[in-house]
């Protein structure tokens, strides 16, 4: 059996002090020493000192064993994730925009539009091989959608929404994975690289089917709540037009001021808890649309279910001592749904109404009050006519409460 020695060189490197207490075979330790001493690897350690330099010197032999080249290590912003990128299909091959267009039969202009929608940095040279070949494979599906007769502008819009959603998904997965890998102190670059590769190889086969099933679920739900009206069909409109909808916002009072006094992580946790709490109280036909920092947006075909939801949400936050107070505003009117978001005057008005609501209260517009009418489930008090920012005329507002109080 080979003798076991520290995975670090026996002394500090450029003044650093080794921190790992793990042991590895002597043969690998020699490779570690080669990285430290060899001029061939010197530039791979440039700018690193102390423990950071020692960790990188430990990581490099492992990367080389896994087939990563010195050039790839040298060119990488995060060498510890090179093997993980390969596990996700990136073999290092690069292609140009012109190659993508010719290979997949997609118009060069559409290639550029799709790449911009995804957020891929653009090159002015269409022949420059700067795009990972594995990323270009998605144009197989773009071509198929074009052949099915889908409008190119709508394809780009769908790609943009998918990219935005999956970017958030990827960030959440990254945070979850790193939390699992760095649960204890003393985690090195090599520890993260190994754990990341193992986790990806195990989890990657699960992600595709899970995302596919969740997309189908959302499509079914959307088809239950969205329909093209007879008038829109008669007019031949390709998309649903403006329709009556109730819109609500709720935001945390004092969130901005709190941001000056607490770490960003605490703010993020507070915003996440608001989203979790909102999803807990939402039931159809009410739909959670999005979160915007310290605020959430919901819609419903009818105002009464939405008002009940907002009152329940405010009550839920009032019950917790460690939560900022919530305020909410509800309006109704004609708005249009595009790419999962809503646009129109009731959206703007709901935001303005929320801004003038008192902590722990729910204000509604006159249109909401009239639409709900004599519903015995609510009690009302006139909150006055207010001049709201960006709204031409004074807006009559009412405070709503549950009737059983």
Same domain, 255 and 213: no
Same domain, 66 and 109: no
How many structural domains are present in the chain? 3
Structure confidence at residue 7 (pLDDT): 35
Q: Is residue 349, in this structure, part of any structural domain at all?
A: yes
Same domain, 197 and 104: yes
Same domain, 202 and 298: no
Structure confidence at residue 255 (pLDDT): 77
- 327 phi, psi to nearest 5 deg: -135, 150
Q: Which long-range contacts (CB under 8 A, 24 or more apart) does 280-283 make?
A: 280/316, 281/309, 281/312, 281/313, 281/316, 282/309, 283/309
pLDDT in tens, 49-58: 888 888 988 8
Q: Is residue 236, in this structure, part of any structural domain at all?
A: no
3-state secondary structure of 337: strand
Q: Tell me the C-alpha distance between 263 and 56, whole Å.
A: 30
Q: Is residue 233, in this structure, part of any structural domain at all?
A: no
Domain end among 183, 198, 225: 225
Structure confidence at residue 37 (pLDDT): 65
Structure confidence at residue 10 (pLDDT): 32
pLDDT in tens, 248-282: 999 988 877 776 667 777 778 888 889 989 999 99
Same domain, 269 and 300: yes
Same domain, 249 and 129: no
Q: 193 CB contacts (<8 Å, ≥6 apart)? A: 59, 62, 63, 80, 81, 82, 83, 84
Element (H, E) at 382: strand 378-386
Q: Out of 26-30, 80-84, 169-173, 392-396, which region has the weakest mean confidence (pLDDT)?
A: 26-30
Residue 121: CB atoms within 10 A of its CB come to 8
3-state secondary structure of 226: coil
Q: Is residue 9, in this structure, part of any structural domain at all?
A: yes
Same domain, 63 and 108: no
Statement: residue 236 has pLDDT above 70: no
Statement: residue 372 has pLDDT above 80: yes
Q: Which domain holds residue 120?
A: 94-225
Same domain, 196 and 316: no
For residues 120-133, average pLDDT: 90
pLDDT: which is higher, 5 or 268: 268
For residues 341-349, average pLDDT: 90
Query: Domain with 380 in it: what CATH number?
Result: 3.30.70.1230
Same domain, 102 and 211: yes
Structure confidence at residue 88 (pLDDT): 85
Q: Which of 185, 178, 190 is nearest to 54 (CA)?
A: 190
Q: How many residues does the chain have?
A: 405
Same domain, 291 and 208: no
Same domain, 67 and 112: no
Structure confidence at residue 239 (pLDDT): 52
Average pLDDT, the chain: 82
């Amino acid at each position: 059996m080979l003798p076991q020695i520290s995975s670090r060189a026996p002394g500090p490197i450029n003044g650093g002090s080794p921190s790992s207490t793990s042991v590895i075979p002597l043969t690998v330790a020699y490779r570690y020493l080669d990285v430290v001493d060899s001029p061939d690897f010197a530039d791979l350690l440039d700018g690193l000192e102390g423990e950071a330099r020692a960790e990188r010197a430990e990581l490099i032999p492992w990367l080389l064993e896994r087939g990563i080249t010195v050039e790839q290590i040298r060119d990488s912003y995060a060498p510890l994730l090179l093997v993980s990128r390969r596990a996700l299909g990136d073999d290092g091959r690069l292609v140009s925009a012109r190659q993508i267009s010719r290979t997949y039969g997609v118009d060069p202009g559409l290639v550029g539009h799709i790449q911009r929608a995804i957020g891929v940095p653009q090159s002015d040279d269409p022949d420059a091989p700067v795009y990972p070949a594995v990323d270009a494979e998605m144009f197989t599906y773009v071509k198929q959608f074009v052949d099915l007769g889908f409008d190119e502008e709508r394809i780009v819009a769908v790609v943009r929404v998918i990219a935005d959603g999956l970017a958030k998904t990827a960030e959440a997965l990254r945070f979850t994975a790193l939390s699992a890998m760095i649960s204890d102190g003393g985690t090195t670059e090599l520890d993260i690289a190994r754990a990341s590769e193992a986790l990806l190889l195990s989890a990657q086969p699960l992600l595709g089917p899970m995302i596919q099933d969740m997309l189908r679920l959302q499509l079914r739900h959307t088809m239950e709540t969205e329909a093209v009206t007879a008038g829109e069909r008669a007019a031949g409109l390709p998309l649903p037009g403006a329709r009556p909808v109730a819109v609500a916002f709720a935001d945390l009072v004092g969130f901005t001021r709190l941001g000056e006094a607490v770490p960003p992580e605490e703010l993020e946790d507070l915003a996440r808890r608001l989203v979790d709490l909102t999803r807990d109280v939402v039931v159809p036909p009410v739909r959670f649309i999005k979160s915007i920092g310290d605020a959430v947006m919901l819609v419903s075909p009818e105002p009464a279910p939405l008002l009940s939801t907002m009152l329940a949400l405010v009550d839920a936050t009032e019950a917790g001592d460690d939560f900022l107070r919530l305020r909410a505003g509800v309006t109704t009117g004609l708005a249009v749904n595009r790419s999962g978001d809503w646009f129109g005057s009731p959206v703007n008005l709901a935001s303005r109404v929320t801004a003038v609501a008192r902590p722990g209260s729910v204000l509604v517009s006159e249109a909401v009050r009239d639409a709900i009418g004599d519903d015995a489930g609510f009690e009302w008090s006139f909150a006055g006519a207010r001049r709201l920012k960006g709204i031409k005329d004074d807006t009559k507002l009412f405070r709503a409460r549950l009737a059983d109080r």
